[in-house]
Amino acid sequence: MVTVSLGVLVSGRGSNLQAIIDAINGGKLNAAIRIVISNKKDAYALERAKKAGIKTIFIDPKDFLSWQDYEQQMVSQLKANGVELVILAGFMRILTPYFVNAYKDRILNIHPALLPSFPGLHAQQQALEYGVKVTGITVHVVDEGMDTGRIILQRVVDVLSNDTVKSLSERMLRIEHQVYPEAIALYCK
Ligand code: GAR
């Protein structure tokens, strides 16, 4: 089977990145992470990647006049490293049509809600405020809208009556770690 070359974009702690690294190392996902790119210098995700021997780069938004220039730099790094599929793992910027077209149908995102419910930021808080009894995880292809692309996999998570944003987010995160590698494997197949 072909090994798919991944590029992972991160902004923060990188627990989903870690789950993907672990799935690859455990033989559950036939892929290789060619590069991890962060828009935040102190993202813990960069440490996780380095520990796993993966190439990392921090691209400083301050070095670019526009977000489109920034995205061009990301695309050229991804292409230079042979990346076929881009994985957003807690990357907290919206990609413009330029980037989406450069990797058309080859960008995946994980979102902590059952899309199309609760897109955007603070999805778990939105779910609690609405009072839904179930929420969940969605892995989808990234298109030009916000959290609107084709859905690959979803998993339902119960909302408990005593849940806080913290307790719900933690329970959901454990499911995210199972679902993301599974969805990537499915999409690669
Ligand atoms: C995850 O919960 C992910 O679903 C969410 O950010 C967190 C990143 O955590 N993404 C979004 O909300 C995208 N709209 P991580 O850095 O530990 O993987």
User: Is residue 93 a known part of a binding site?
Assistant: yes
Measured CA to CA, the distance from residue 69 to residue 80 in angstroms comes to: 16
The ligand 1 atom nearest the CA atom of 44: 16
Cα of 89 to ligand 1 centre, how many Å?
A: 6
What does the pLDDT look like over 3-54, one tens digit per residue? Answer: 999 999 999 999 999 999 999 999 999 999 999 999 999 999 999 999 999 9
Whether 1 has a pLDDT exceeding 90, the answer reads no
Task: Give the confidence band of 2 by pLDDT, cuts at 50, 70, 90.
Answer: confident
What does the pLDDT look like over 162-184, one tens digit per residue? Answer: 999 999 999 999 999 999 999 99
What does the pLDDT look like over 70-96, one tens digit per residue? Answer: 999 999 999 999 999 999 999 989 999
Cα of 90 to ligand 1 centre, how many Å?
A: 4
Angle, in degrees to the nearest 10, between helices 15-25 and 44-51:
20
Q: Are 4 and 84 in contact (CB under 8 A)?
A: yes
Question: Is the CB of 48 inside a 6 Å radius of any atom of ligand 1?
Answer: no
Region of residue 77 (phi > 0: left; psi between -120 and 50: alpha; otherwise: beta)? alpha
Is 140 an annotated catalytic residue? no
**What is the homologous superfamily of the domain 4-188 according to CATH?**
Formyl transferase, N-terminal domain (3.40.50.170)
pTM, whole model, 2 decimals? 0.97
Whether 131 has a pLDDT exceeding 80, the answer reads yes
The domain limits of the chain are 4-188
What pLDDT is recorded for position 17? 98
Residue with tokens 């089977």: 1
Task: Give the confidence band of 102 by pLDDT, cuts at 50, 70, 90.
Answer: very high
What pLDDT is recorded for position 163? 98
